[in-house]
Amino acid sequence: MSGDESTPEQMTSSSSLVVVVDEDDVSSCSSNAIMNNITDETVEATSPNTPPKLSPELESSIIVAYRSVGLGSFGAGMRFAGMPLEKIALYMNSSQVSGSNQFAQAMKLTFRDGAMAPYRVVGPASLVAWFMAYSVMGFAFQFFDRLLSKGLGVDPVWYGEELMEPPPSPRNNHNRNIHREENGVVVKGDDEDDHAATSYYRAKSVAKIIITPFLSSTLESIVANRAEVQRYYGPAKFASIEAKLGWNPIARLVAPAFVPNVMRNVIMCNASFIITPITYKLYFPQEKKSQGSLFMYGMGMNFAMNAVAITQQALWGRALDYAAENGGRAINYGEVIKSSLKKEGISAFITAPKWFSRILMNAPVQGSLPWFYNNILPLGEGSVLEVARWANASLSPSPNFGSSRGKSLS
């Protein structure tokens, strides 16, 4: 054995090396890398002009709040601007229009009191409710997605620039679940282990994807349904119906037709936060991914999902008409569905005009939501975090922040 050859013990201890270089070069490179890293971190940590970093938990909370406020502002502005379209859609999906020329009937009802009539039913409560609905929807989805992801040990739904990246390879997506460590060495599991771990991971991911929209949509409806009902009836009529029904505080909080409102929101939450980002990430041609294609893809997905959501919107409107009869009565959903089908058949819940009116109302805001959420909101996250760092440093300044300390490493 020559002097350059390694002993078996040396070969074992260095088996993790892939490239062998001169020992002096390794020492020099390692020393330079370590010193550069220490210098950069030390300068950043001790610079009098750089606020200290936020904790991961605080940073995550700030980002969730920022996204929620952004979604609330965007949603409220878009909903107010499209109020005439909303009124048309509400009438189209109620029992007040039937037979032929339903769209013309809905238009006539919408503007019977003048061109500005749709806006006159919007009060401060509606503006707050719109803001809360979209901000709560965004907050609730992020909150439950992160909470369940952490509890189940799965990844959150892809967001922002992640949608523009290539989809992960099937076998590398869940390495943390299908590999094990033995004596500090990562050992790949066999095919049976891989399959079992991957199947278990997917089952947990599917469970989270199903549960999250239900939880977030329920919370959204608790916030928004009462204001939606008020806009449908008008404040005076709604107050009269409530007075006759004499509901308990919980029933008054959620308001009539709560169940179809939740189901409609579940469908649209899936469209905006689950189906659109996941399918775009996994199946949209990589070379065609862009902000523009995500915008159009979100719109197309909104059109498709509204074909399902329109059935719940129609049930919501017909349930409210049922509740308003004789000055106010409790809703019997079975009777509402049975009488509607007997009178008009399936067209009571879904027709081309109903679908079109729903798209007119919903697509401008809900269809553009994935684009706004994943492409526009991320643009401000860096600035928001920077302001938060400065604010945090001002409220609880570190010994080095704003002082002359740390200007020299010597």
Q: How far apart, in whole angstroms, are the C-alpha atoms of residue 4 and residue 23?
A: 13
Does residue 156 surpass a pLDDT of 60?
Answer: yes
**SS3 assignment for 291-330:** HHHHHHHHHHHHHHHHHHHHHHHHHHHHHHHHHHHHHCCC
Residue 298 CB neighbours (<10 A): 27
The tokens describing 9, both together, are: 């013990």
State the pLDDT at residue 204: 92
State the pLDDT at residue 403: 52
Does residue 327 surpass a pLDDT of 80?
Answer: yes
**pLDDT tens digits for 213-243?**
999 999 889 988 998 898 888 888 999 999 9
Question: Which range (21-35, 42-56, 341-355) has the least confidence?
Answer: 21-35
Q: Which of 28-32, 38-42, 193-197, 294-298 holds the top average pLDDT?
A: 294-298
| Domains of the chain and any CATH numbers | 56-169+191-372+384-389 (1.50.40)
- Three-state secondary-structure class, residue 187: strand
341 against 93, higher pLDDT:
341
Does residue 274 surpass a pLDDT of 90?
Answer: yes
Does residue 141 surpass a pLDDT of 80?
Answer: yes
State the pLDDT at residue 299: 87
